């Protein structure tokens, strides 16, 4: 039997050896790969017709080629190129040459001569163009080699006169990418005639083919991008192109004008047909503004986008963009905006009820009216009411950028932005609300504008409403009526959409703290207090009442006179809200009350340092773990963990670090405890039951390590090593426990083998970190590796057990920034007693709304889990579009979960929770031999396990049997 | 001299009765065939007898084009085709073809049934007339006959409105009809490419107006409706059945959707339902938003807007009602108005202009007590609002379109003379384009330059292009070729091909000149000296010494000969063909030969 077993063991282990041989075999394969060129050669020789050859080439192009074999392949290809008569095959070869020369690690200068050579003899225009493309690839690969660049530029110049637009296009592209303005710098370049690339490209601005004109402009832009300074003379040429017949030319020309205007903003250009002169940037601005009413929407989008980045333009021109001189029957008319402003300043509310309210007043001098302004007049007015929403969005973005740099412009464009809140496309509305928020520091809303803004609160789209709440958080309101209006509208919103509760409360918090003096006169009215009579105490659970209180308490924070206006129950409610909604209600200095919280709050900042210190100290204390007896070590760990946990609760900034280290220590504690078990000394058959603790510990350590690895953002590689090391120890523990408890050795072979593989992987992945792991479990294990390989399982287990006991505790270096991922499900709230009824077998949609914090890549990792009472669990992958990103580190998941079940007799609760899925192999650097090959996408996205990271919410549901 | 003649029969310095005759390169086209709202006698239709006194119209007109379905553009069509008599093709877009007969029938009903007119066209005539219609798609080039072609461009304004380009050979005219350069809630903006016509005929309704942003108007409208409804009031919006009504419906519908409102909106039935049906069908003619979202939901399938029933007017609670007609002069809108006028919570919104004498005009001008039939006095307590939603291009828009099309001339129609005057002046000043504004019956004649197309072979063109080194896109350039006139078409071909086609042999013209050299050596040696000398000077040319003793420089041949009378002098024969390209000029050559080695030689040389 023993002999048989021994044989089996050897069999098992020889298998491992065989695997290694396999690896060698794969390496061998790589060595044989250069024969690719030979294979290609044979293939091409076999090809009887051009179509055949083309097929071979296409097949060949699908596989990657290694750097060392590129040259051989190129030679073969060139050889065939000379022989080939069919232009399509030559074309393919030329394109392959280009692709090959892009291979990393291959220096293409050796094939350049050949490429230029075949270029001179080529007749087909298409092949010529492709060859020039290849040369471009070669040239961009060798950016330092000036001589080659010069030579390529020369070649390009020679072919510029080609009759085919494709060839000219490529030549210009080549010039744009490789041409230089500097006169020959190096010696070897002196021999070649230096050319003024800009002049050459500029000549092709008037080419007869629009595609070539476009290419010329693009080449010029390319020159600019490469850091060469364009001449100012180009400006006039570019201006002429603005009236080109073709949209792509105009679109590129607009870009070029923008570039020149950024290069020479201050130089002076004359205005044609007059003696005046203006700054170039102003002139360019006017011209680009004119393009906002171009016939092609592509150009309009381009122009509107670029306007946003022209910050140097003078304010006089800038403000013209919002001005469109209205007239009616040749009489000057005021715009609705002007009228609204006037009504406001005259102290009257908008009446607007008379016909002819907008009747035109003064006569206009017919001679003075200019119908097509060359300047910037009304560019944004046009852009904002464009037919295509792409243009409108671009215009809104441009407005935003310009308003951010100019406060006076911000004030002026407000009316227009407010108007955009009523756009027919939601995206545009959202964009304009965001824009408004961004410029909100510069502006104060007038009452009539606020009115329009607030009207949007009734929008049925949640995104719009929430964006608007964000906007209100940071707007300045000028009057107390404005505050009142905002409050009334927000409360209306609250009754219409109760789900907006949190967002509205938050909004009122900021509104209150920004405008304490405006809220003050409103307080009696809002709290409905009366000087003589006591009024009824409002319902404390009413969200609307809470909303009012949030506004008032936040205003009261900076307004000490306000609490005097409160009635008794207000103080009581304050105490309650301060406890229950502490993030919304600040600590107040209330008369006659002890300020418990205010004593704490100012000292938080000064305490920060000691707590950091405390954290350090407690962690350092753990270093001495090794020298303590097991009992002492356990105690030390226990109270350190307790300290850390408490620290995390007290100091939210340190919560991540504290939790992280506590988890690690807990793993260690579990490990020590498991190893302390008496069971190790007892004979195997006796402790079947007792081993529960050890195996449970192993399982728990595994879980905790996964949490450490994937639930914290900011974990660096050095922590990952330690975590993996801990996991390896857990696996070893598991192996030992299994070895002890199971009889029969069959399962053990597999486990041993697997474990050794794990060790091997560990070594491979973290080879650079191994020196840091002195005296650790792995370190020792690796020393014993040769022995382990040859030992039989029982021996392996024994070795493992001793190593595990002897191994040192690894200190966990603390990462700089670490945050624990967390999630809260806002909806469903889990409070409802009304079951969700639906017919069994059909589905019911459950709205899930959750906030996620510090989750990296939530689109791929966050899942929703539904647990049915029968233990059935369902995992739902939310769509990537369901995640929004309201701020750094924060995400919002708004999705629908479909529930279904067979009929129940009673309503029952299902649990909904969020899971964080992980895949440990995705994080680890890829195995070296996999790098070149294709990694199948399934491997990347597969889920290895999940960690629940939100509190489960219970939802009451009731699938009814279907009626027949 | 070819010319384009334009005669407005209607809409010349006037709004209404659009009808314009255009003769272009011998083709006669009639643009629009409308009626005039202001007249009830013969003047309401254009005077078709102007076109031809006693001949048939069909013989004279090549085609009729209708730009859109408004009655002032198509109202006279059945009269013209059936009663006056025209059997040629009538072109219009698909939506116009669908909606036009509904409106004509409605117009006929009012004229015949209500006003009791005799001698008016009948329903059958409308049907017969519509049979002659040929529908066109946007941007589709339709060949009316071999030479005349027309093409439609999008014009906004109303569903199916189009601008037409009429083209004969190289001459072309663009007629805009009515158009709108700013998009609205259901239609996009007019667009035309740079077609550079000889003449652009444009409407000019708002020639002296620059309009405010439409967003303010929309916002005001929505705010007013919303506020009234919120306070429990009823809103009456009198509209005409087509065009603006749909825009306002969409506006309210989307607003209701956005704001989650539940208040009912009603639309008085009849004509509108049929029209809405067509609006649903012609989605490609609407604006970007509707086109993009109709797969999920057709915007014209209103969720919130329901058909109106007479009994609903008495229902309690807020509501919004669209009712016809638009000027509150009769019918359902007036009935509802009378019921609701007494309550100050209610509101009436007039979305357009009202003719003097109508109830609409009275309340807009602020009258609060109205006399109704039967000596009743109606006190108007409800709020009265005016909102202008107009779908014509304003002065800026007109200029923008002119700028887009880049015409040689502009002709203004469909507007008041005084306003046209202003716009004409502006167009001439700012765009430097000559502008005309003929009155009805007045003919404008535009001379056009005659252009004759000449075909050129691609090979020749490419060869000649390669000659010039720099690209000069728009500069005229000389090229060598032979013009062949054959069967009334012109072709430009290379001289070799011309010779081949005509079966002629090529004659080579060779010029020869003699240069006397004072040289006592043998001919061969002289030739050799000349050769080595030329070789040293003309480095970039190919100089060869042939075995027969002659020297060639490219195509120039040099031979040395010894005249018998004087052994001391040699004669150099320099000979060259007429066409020399790329080589040295023979004149230069002969002076080169003569200068340094043999200074004594005569230098007078005959030159070609």
pLDDT at B269: 67
- Packed helices A165-178 and A210-225: angle between N→C axes, nearest 10 degrees: 10
- Out of 3.90.1150.10, 1.25.10.10, 3.10.20.30, 2.130.10.10, the CATH code matching A44-183+193-273 is 1.25.10.10
* Distance (Å) from the alpha carbon of A386 to chain B's nearest alpha carbon: 7
Q: Which of A241-245, A651-655, B451-455 shows the lowest mean pLDDT across its residues?
A: A651-655
Which phi and psi angles does A10 have, rounded to 5°?
Answer: -65, -40
Tell me the pLDDT band of A345, cut-offs 50, 70 and 90. Answer: low
End-to-end, the C-alpha distance of chain B in Å comes to: 41
Chain B CB contacts of A499 under 8 Å are none
Residue A689 has a CB neighbour count (10 Å cut-off) of: 9
Superfamily grouping for domain B3-210+391-447: Ribonuclease Z/Hydroxyacylglutathione hydrolase-like (3.60.15.10)
| Residue count of chain B | 608
| Class for the domain spanning B214-386 | alpha beta
Q: Using a CB–CB cutoff of 8 Å, tell me whether B569 touches chain A.
A: no
As for the ipTM of the complex, it is 0.78
Chain A CB contacts of B385 under 8 Å are 352-353
Assess whether pLDDT exceeds 50 at residue B4.
yes
pLDDT at B270: 66
Per DSSP, the three-state class of A790 is: helix
List, for residues A607-655, the tens digit of each pLDDT value: 456 777 777 777 777 777 767 777 788 888 888 888 888 887 777 777 8
Beta bridge partners of A892: A851, A884
Question: Alpha-carbon distance B354 to B329, whole Å?
Answer: 9
Which alpha helices (H) appear in A459-567, and where do they start and end? Answer: 462-473, 480-496, 501-514, 516-519, 523-527, 543-556
Sequence-separated contacts (24+) of B548-556 with Cβ below 8 Å = B549/B523, B549/B524, B551/B527, B553/B583, B553/B584, B553/B589, B554/B580, B554/B582, B554/B583, B554/B584, B555/B580, B555/B583, B556/B580, B556/B583, B556/B584, B556/B586, B556/B589
Cα–chain center distance at B528 = 72
Assess whether pLDDT exceeds 60 at residue B474.
no
**What's the DSSP call for residue B44?**
G
List, for residues B50-109, the tens digit of each pLDDT value: 887 777 888 889 999 999 998 889 989 999 999 888 999 999 999 999 989 988 888 888
Q: Which of A298-312, A868-882, B211-225, B403-417 shows the lowest mean pLDDT across its residues?
A: B211-225
Assess whether pLDDT exceeds 70 at residue B395.
yes
Assess whether pLDDT exceeds 90 at residue A595.
no
Report the alpha-carbon angle A201-A202-A207, nearest 5. Answer: 85
> CA distances (Å), B145 to each of B135, B453, B475, in order?
16, 20, 35
Question: Alpha-carbon distance B244 to B186, whole Å?
Answer: 9
Range with top average pLDDT, A688-697, B131-140, B184-193: B131-140
What's the average model confidence in pLDDT over A257-266? 91
Cα–chain center distance at A332 = 50
List, for residues B348-358, the tens digit of each pLDDT value: 988 876 767 77
Spot the catalytic one: B82, B203, B385, B554.
B203
Per DSSP, the three-state class of A927 is: coil
Please indicate whether, in this complex, the C-beta atoms of B216 and A455 are within 8 angstroms of each other: no
More confident: A724 or A934: A724
Cα–chain center distance at A473 = 24
- Chain B interface test: which of A205, A371, A426, A495 (most B C-beta within 10 Å): A371
CATH code at A821-924+943-960: 2.60.40.10
Assess whether pLDDT exceeds 60 at residue A868.
yes
Assess whether pLDDT exceeds 80 at residue A366.
no
Q: Using a CB–CB cutoff of 8 Å, tell me whether A428 touches chain B.
A: no
**What's the DSSP call for residue B119?**
S
Q: Which of A906-910, B110-114, B594-598 shows the lowest mean pLDDT across its residues?
A: B594-598
What's the average model confidence in pLDDT over A476-480? 85
What's the average model confidence in pLDDT over A249-265? 92
- List the 639-668 stretch of A: residues with Cβ below 8 A of B: none
**Residue limits of CATH 3.60.15.10 in chain B:** 3-210+391-447
Assess whether pLDDT exceeds 60 at residue A527.
yes
Question: Alpha-carbon distance A797 to A804, whole Å?
Answer: 10
CA dihedral over B89, B92, B95, B98, signed as positive or negative: negative
Please state, for a pLDDT cut of 70, what percent of chain B lies above it. Answer: 91
What's the average model confidence in pLDDT over A39-64? 78
Token pair of B223 as six digits = 């705010």
What's the average model confidence in pLDDT over A489-509? 88
Give B564: exposed, middle or buried? Use CB within 10 Å, 0-12, 13-18, 19+. exposed
pLDDT at B571: 80
Tell me the pLDDT band of B22, cut-offs 50, 70 and 90. Answer: very high
Tell me the pLDDT band of A181, cut-offs 50, 70 and 90. Answer: low
Chain A CB contacts of B425 under 8 Å are 366
List, for residues A292-336, the tens digit of each pLDDT value: 888 889 999 999 999 888 888 888 888 877 776 666 665 666 666
Please indicate whether, in this complex, the C-beta atoms of A372 and B260 are within 8 angstroms of each other: no
Mean of all residue pLDDT scores within chain A: 78
Task: Name the CATH architecture for the domain at B510-587.
Answer: 2-Layer Sandwich (3.30)
Tell me the pLDDT band of B435, cut-offs 50, 70 and 90. Answer: very high
Q: Pick the closest to residue A266 from A227, A232, A239, A225 (CA basis).
A: A232
Per DSSP, the three-state class of B277 is: helix
Question: What does the DSSP assignment read for A759-770?
Answer: HHHHHHHTTTTG
Assess whether pLDDT exceeds 90 at residue B531.
no
Chain B CB contacts of A354 under 8 Å are 366
Please indicate whether, in this complex, the C-beta atoms of B213 and A425 are within 8 angstroms of each other: no
Per DSSP, the three-state class of B361 is: helix
pLDDT at A344: 55
Q: Using a CB–CB cutoff of 8 Å, tell me whether A627 touches chain B.
A: no
Token pair of B127 as six digits = 């049907």
Please indicate whether, in this complex, the C-beta atoms of B259 and A460 are within 8 angstroms of each other: yes
List, for residues B135-167, the tens digit of each pLDDT value: 999 999 999 998 899 999 999 888 899 999 999
Question: Alpha-carbon distance A325 to A280, whole Å?
Answer: 25
Assess whether pLDDT exceeds 50 at residue A939.
no
* Distance (Å) from the alpha carbon of A166 to chain B's nearest alpha carbon: 15
Question: Alpha-carbon distance A915 to B461, whole Å?
Answer: 71
List, for residues A690-705, the tens digit of each pLDDT value: 557 778 888 888 888 8
- Nearest chain A residue to B458, by CA: A163
- List the 147-206 stretch of B: residues with Cβ below 8 A of A: 182-183, 185, 188-189, 191-194
List, for residues A114-156, the tens digit of each pLDDT value: 888 888 888 888 888 998 988 888 888 887 777 888 888 888 8
Question: Alpha-carbon distance B44 to B59, whole Å?
Answer: 25
More confident: A374 or A568: A568
**What's the DSSP call for residue B394?**
B
pTM reported for the whole predicted model: 0.74
- Chain A interface test: which of B227, B473, B474, B477 (most A C-beta within 10 Å): B473
Q: Which of A371-375, A678-682, B146-150 shows the lowest mean pLDDT across its residues?
A: A371-375
Question: Alpha-carbon distance B28 to B60, whole Å?
Answer: 7
Q: Using a CB–CB cutoff of 8 Å, tell me whether B366 touches chain A.
A: yes
pLDDT at A191: 41
Per DSSP, the three-state class of B6 is: strand
* Distance (Å) from the alpha carbon of A535 to chain B's nearest alpha carbon: 28
What's the average model confidence in pLDDT over B184-200? 90
* Distance (Å) from the alpha carbon of A594 to chain B's nearest alpha carbon: 47
Chain B CB contacts of A419 under 8 Å are 213, 215-216, 219
Q: Using a CB–CB cutoff of 8 Å, tell me whether B462 touches chain A.
A: yes
pLDDT at B139: 92
Please indicate whether, in this complex, the C-beta atoms of A496 and B260 are within 8 angstroms of each other: yes
- Chain B interface test: which of A424, A455, A496 (most B C-beta within 10 Å): A424
Per DSSP, the three-state class of A891 is: strand
Q: Which among B194, B400, B471 has CB closest to A208?
A: B471
Please indicate whether, in this complex, the C-beta atoms of A372 and B403 are within 8 angstroms of each other: yes
Tell me the pLDDT band of B28, cut-offs 50, 70 and 90. Answer: very high
Q: Which helix (H) or strand (E) holds A920?
A: helix A920-923
Q: Which among B288, B422, B431 has CB closest to A389?
A: B288
Question: What does the DSSP assignment read for A281-342?
Answer: HHHHHHHHHHHTT-SSHHHHHHHHHHHTT-TTS-HHHHHHTT---EEETTEEE--HHHHHHH
Tell me the pLDDT band of A369, cut-offs 50, 70 and 90. Answer: low
Q: Using a CB–CB cutoff of 8 Å, tell me whether A816 touches chain B.
A: no
More confident: A372 or A62: A62
Residue B469 has a CB neighbour count (10 Å cut-off) of: 9
What's the average model confidence in pLDDT over A175-184? 70
3-state helix, strand, coil in chain B (%, to 5): 35, 25, 45
Question: Alpha-carbon distance A54 to A57, whole Å?
Answer: 5
List, for residues A899-928, the tens digit of each pLDDT value: 888 888 888 888 888 888 887 665 444 333
Report the alpha-carbon angle A234-A239-A245, nearest 5. Answer: 125
Please indicate whether, in this complex, the C-beta atoms of B385 and A353 are within 8 angstroms of each other: yes
Q: Tell me if B293 sits within 8 A of B284, measured CB to CB.
A: no
Q: In the annotation, is B203 catalytic?
A: yes
Please indicate whether, in this complex, the C-beta atoms of A458 and B260 are within 8 angstroms of each other: yes
What's the average model confidence in pLDDT over A749-764? 81
* Distance (Å) from the alpha carbon of B252 to chain A's nearest alpha carbon: 11
More confident: A48 or A435: A435
Assess whether pLDDT exceeds 60 at residue A29.
no
Please indicate whether, in this complex, the C-beta atoms of A325 and B210 are within 8 angstroms of each other: yes
> CA distances (Å), A447 to each of A454, A481, B71, in order?
10, 8, 45
Please indicate whether, in this complex, the C-beta atoms of A293 and B400 are within 8 angstroms of each other: yes
What's the average model confidence in pLDDT over A82-109? 83
> CA distances (Å), B55 to each of A703, B59, B65, B81, in order?
100, 7, 21, 14
Q: Which of A2-6, A268-272, A497-501, B140-144 shows the lowest mean pLDDT across its residues?
A: A2-6
- List the 241-260 stretch of A: residues with Cβ below 8 A of B: 245
Assess whether pLDDT exceeds 60 at residue A206.
yes
Question: Alpha-carbon distance A846 to A848, whole Å?
Answer: 6
A–B interface: beta-carbon pairs under 8 A: 133
Per DSSP, the three-state class of A200 is: helix
Assess whether pLDDT exceeds 80 at residue A774.
no
Question: Alpha-carbon distance B250 to B262, whole Å?
Answer: 16
Please indicate whether, in this complex, the C-beta atoms of A366 and B384 are within 8 angstroms of each other: no
* Distance (Å) from the alpha carbon of A459 to chain B's nearest alpha carbon: 5
Question: Alpha-carbon distance B408 to B91, whole Å?
Answer: 25
pLDDT at B124: 92
- List the 225-264 stretch of B: residues with Cβ below 8 A of A: 226, 254, 257-260
């Amino acid at each position: 039997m023993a002999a048989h077993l021994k044989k089996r063991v050897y069999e098992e282990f020889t298998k491992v050896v065989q695997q290694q041989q396999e690896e060698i075999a794969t390496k061998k394969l790589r060595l044989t790969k250069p024969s690719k060129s030979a294979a290609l050669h044979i293939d091409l020789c076999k090809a009887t017709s051009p179509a055949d050859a083309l097929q071979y080439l296409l097949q060949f192009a699908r596989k990657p080629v290694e750097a060392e074999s590129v040259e051989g392949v190129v030679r073969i290809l060139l050889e065939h190129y000379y022989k080939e008569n069919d232009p399509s095959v030559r074309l393919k070869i030329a394109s392959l040459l280009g692709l090959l020369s892009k291979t990393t690690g291959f220096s293409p200068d050796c094939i350049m001569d050949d490429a230029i050579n075949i270029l001179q003899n080529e007749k087909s225009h298409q092949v010529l163009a492709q060859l020039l493309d290849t040369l471009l690839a070669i040239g961009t690969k060798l950016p330092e080699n000036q001589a080659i660049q010069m030579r390529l530029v020369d070649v390009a110049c020679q072919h510029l006169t080609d009759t085919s637009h494709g060839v000219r296009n490529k030549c210009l592209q080549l010039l744009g990418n490789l041409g230089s303005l500097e006169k020959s710098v190096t010696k070897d370049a002196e021999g070649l005639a230096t050319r003024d690339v800009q002049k050459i490209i500029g000549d092709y601005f008037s080419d007869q083919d629009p595609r070539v004109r476009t290419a010329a402009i693009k080449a010029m832009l390319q020159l600019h991008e490469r850091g060469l300074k364009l001449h100012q003379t180009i400006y006039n040429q570019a201006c002429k192109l603005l009236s080109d017949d073709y949209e792509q030319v105009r679109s590129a020309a607009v870009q070029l004008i923008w570039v020149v205007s950024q290069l020479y903003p201050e130089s002076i250009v004359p205005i044609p047909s007059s003696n005046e002169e203006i700054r170039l940037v102003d002139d360019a601005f006017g011209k680009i503004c004119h393009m906002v009413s171009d016939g092609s929407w592509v150009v309009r989008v381009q122009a509107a986008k670029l306007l946003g980045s022209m910050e140097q333009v003078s304010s006089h021109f800038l403000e013209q963009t919002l001005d469109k001189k209205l007239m009616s029957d040749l009489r000057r008319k005021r715009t609705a905006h002007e009228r609204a402003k006037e009504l406001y300043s005259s102290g009257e509310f908008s009446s607007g009820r008379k016909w002819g309210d907008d009747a035109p007043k003064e006569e206009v001098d017919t001679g003075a009216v200019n119908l097509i302004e060359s300047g910037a007049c009304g560019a944004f007015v046009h852009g904002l009411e464009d037919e295509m929403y792409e243009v409108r969005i671009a215009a809104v973005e441009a407005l935003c950028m310009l308003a951010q740099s100019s406060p006076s412009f911000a004030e002026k464009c407000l009316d227009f932005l407010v108007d955009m809140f009523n756009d027919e496309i939601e995206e545009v509305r959202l964009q304009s609300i965001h824009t408004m928020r961004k410029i909100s520091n510069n502006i104060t809303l007038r009452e009539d504008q606020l009115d329009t803004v607030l009207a949007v609160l009734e929008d049925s789209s949640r995104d719009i409403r929430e964006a608007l709440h964000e906007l209100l958080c940071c707007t300045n309101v000028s009057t107390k009526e404005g505050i009142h209006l905002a409050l009334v509208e927000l409360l209306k919103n609250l009754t219409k959409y109760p789900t907006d509760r949190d967002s509205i409360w938050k909004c009122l918090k900021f509104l209150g703290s920004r405008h304490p003096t405006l809220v003050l006169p409103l307080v009696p009215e809002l709290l409905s207090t009366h000087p003589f009579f006591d009024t009824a105490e409002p319902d404390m659970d009413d969200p609307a009442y809470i909303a009012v209180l949030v506004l008032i308490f936040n205003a009261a924070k900076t307004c000490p006179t306000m609490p005097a206006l409160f009635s008794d129950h207000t103080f009581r409610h304050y105490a309650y809200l301060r406890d229950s909604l502490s993030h919304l209600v600040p600590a107040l200095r209330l008369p006659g009350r002890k300020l418990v919280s205010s004593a704490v709050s100012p000292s938080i900042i000064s305490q920060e340092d000691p707590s950091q210190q405390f954290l350090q100290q407690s962690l350092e204390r753990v270093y001495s773990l090794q020298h303590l007896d097991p009992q002492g070590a356990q105690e030390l760990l226990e109270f350190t963990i307790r300290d850390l946990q408490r620290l995390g609760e007290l100091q939210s900034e340190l919560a991540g670090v504290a939790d992280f280290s506590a988890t690690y220590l807990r793993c260690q504690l579990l490990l020590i405890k498991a190893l302390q078990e008496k069971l190790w000394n007892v004979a195997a058959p006796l402790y079947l039951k007792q081993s529960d603790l050890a195996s449970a510990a192993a399982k728990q350590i595994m879980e905790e390590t996964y949490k450490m690895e994937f639930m914290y953002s900011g974990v660096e590689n050095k922590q990952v090593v330690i975590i993996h090391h801990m996991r390896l120890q857990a696996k070893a523990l598991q192996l030992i426990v299994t070895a002890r408890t199971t009889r029969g050795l069959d399962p053990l072979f597999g486990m041993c083998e697997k474990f050794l593989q794990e060790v091997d992987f560990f070594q491979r992945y973290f080879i650079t970190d191994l020196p840091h792991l002195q005296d650790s479990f792995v370190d020792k294990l690796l020393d014993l590796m040769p022995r382990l390989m040859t030992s039989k399982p029982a021996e392996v287990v024994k070795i493992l057990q001793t190593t595990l006991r002897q191994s040192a505790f690894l200190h966990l270096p603390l990462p700089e920034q670490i945050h624990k991922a967390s999630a809260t499900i806002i909806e469903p709230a889990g409070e409802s007693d009304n079951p969700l009824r639906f017919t069994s077998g059909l589905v019911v949609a459950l709205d899930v709304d959750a906030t996620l914090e510090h989750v990296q890549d939530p689109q791929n990792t966050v899942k929703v889990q539904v647990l049915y009472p029968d233990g059935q669990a369902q995992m739902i992958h939310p769509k990537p579009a369901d995640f929004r990103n309201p701020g750094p580190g924060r995400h919002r998941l708004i999705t629908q979960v479909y529930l279904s079940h067979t009929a129940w007799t009673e309503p029952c609760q299902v649990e909904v929770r969020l899971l964080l899925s992980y895949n440990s192999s995705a994080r680890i650097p890829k195995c070296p031999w996999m790098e070149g090959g294709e990694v199948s996408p399934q491997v990347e996205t597969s889920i290895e396990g999940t960690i629940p990271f939100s509190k489960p919410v219970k939802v009451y549901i009731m699938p009814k049997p279907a009626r027949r | 001299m070819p010319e384009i003649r334009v005669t407005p029969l209607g809409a010349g310095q006037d709004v209404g009765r659009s009808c314009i005759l255009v003769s272009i390169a011998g083709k006669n086209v009639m643009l629009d065939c409308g009626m005039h709202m202001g007249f009830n006698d013969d003047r309401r239709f254009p005077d078709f007898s102007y076109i031809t006194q006693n001949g048939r119209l069909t013989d004279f007109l090549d085609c009729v084009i209708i730009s859109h379905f408004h009655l002032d553009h198509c109202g006279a069509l059945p009269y013209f085709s059936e009663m006056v008599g025209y059997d040629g093709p009538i072109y219009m877009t698909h939506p116009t073809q669908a909606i036009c007969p509904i409106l004509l029938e409605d117009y006929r009903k009012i004229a015949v049934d209500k006003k009791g007119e005799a001698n008016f066209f009948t329903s059958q005539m409308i049907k017969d007339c519509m049979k002659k219609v040929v529908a066109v798609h946007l941007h589709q080039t339709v060949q009316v006959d071999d030479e005349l072609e027309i093409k439609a461009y999008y014009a906004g304004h109303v569903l199916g409105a189009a601008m037409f380009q009429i083209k004969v050979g190289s001459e072309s005219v663009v007629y805009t009809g009515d158009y709108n350069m700013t998009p609205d809630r259901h239609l996009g903006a007019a667009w035309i490419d740079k077609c550079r016509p000889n003449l652009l005929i444009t409407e000019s309704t708002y020639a002296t107006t620059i309009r405010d942003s439409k967003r303010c108007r929309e916002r005001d409208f929505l705010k007013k409706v919303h506020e009234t409804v919120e306070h429990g009031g009823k809103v009456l919006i009198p509209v005409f059945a087509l065009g603006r009504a749909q825009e306002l419906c969409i506006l309210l519908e989307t607003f209701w959707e956005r704001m989650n409102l539940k208040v009912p909106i009603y639309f008085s039935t009849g004509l509108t339902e049929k029209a809405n049906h067509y609006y649903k069908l012609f989605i490609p003619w609407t604006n970007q938003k509707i086109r993009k979202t109709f797969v999920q939901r057709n915007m014209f399938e209103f969720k919130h807007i329901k058909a109106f029933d007479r009994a609903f007017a008495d229902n309690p609670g807020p509501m919004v009602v669209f009712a016809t007609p638009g000027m509150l002069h009769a019918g359902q809108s007036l009935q509802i108005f009378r019921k609701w006028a007494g309550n100050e919570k209610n509101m009436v919104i007039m979305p357009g202009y009202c003719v003097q004498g109508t109830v609409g005009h009275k309340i807009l001008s602020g009258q609060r007590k109205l006399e109704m039939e039967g000596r009743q006095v109606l006190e108007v307590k409800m709020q009265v609002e005016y909102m202008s939603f107009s779908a014509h291009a304003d002065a800026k828009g007109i200029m923008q379109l002119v700028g887009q099309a880049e015409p040689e001339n502009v002709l203004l129609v469909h507007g008041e003379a005084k306003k046209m005057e202003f716009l004409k002046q502006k167009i001439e000043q700012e765009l430097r384009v000559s502008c005309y504004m003929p009155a009805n019956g007045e003919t404008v004649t535009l001379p056009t330059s005659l252009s004759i197309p000449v075909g050129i072979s691609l090979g020749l063109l490419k060869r000649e292009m390669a000659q010039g080194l720099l690209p000069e896109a728009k500069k005229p350039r000389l090229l060598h070729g032979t013009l062949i006139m054959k069967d009334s078409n012109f072709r430009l071909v290379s001289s070799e091909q011309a010779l081949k086609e005509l079966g002629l042999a090529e004659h080579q013209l060779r010029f020869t000149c003699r240069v006397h050299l004072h040289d006592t050596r043998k001919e061969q040696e002289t030739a050799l000296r000349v050769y080595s000398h030329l070789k040293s000077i003309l480095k970039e040319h190919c100089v060869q010494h042939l075995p027969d003793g002659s020297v060639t420089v490219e195509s120039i041949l040099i031979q040395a000969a010894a005249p018998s009378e004087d052994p001391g002098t040699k004669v150099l024969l320099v000979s060259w063909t007429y066409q020399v390209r790329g080589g040295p000029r023979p004149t230069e050559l002969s002076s080169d030969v003569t200068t340094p080695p043999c200074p004594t030689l005569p230098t007078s040389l005959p030159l070609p």
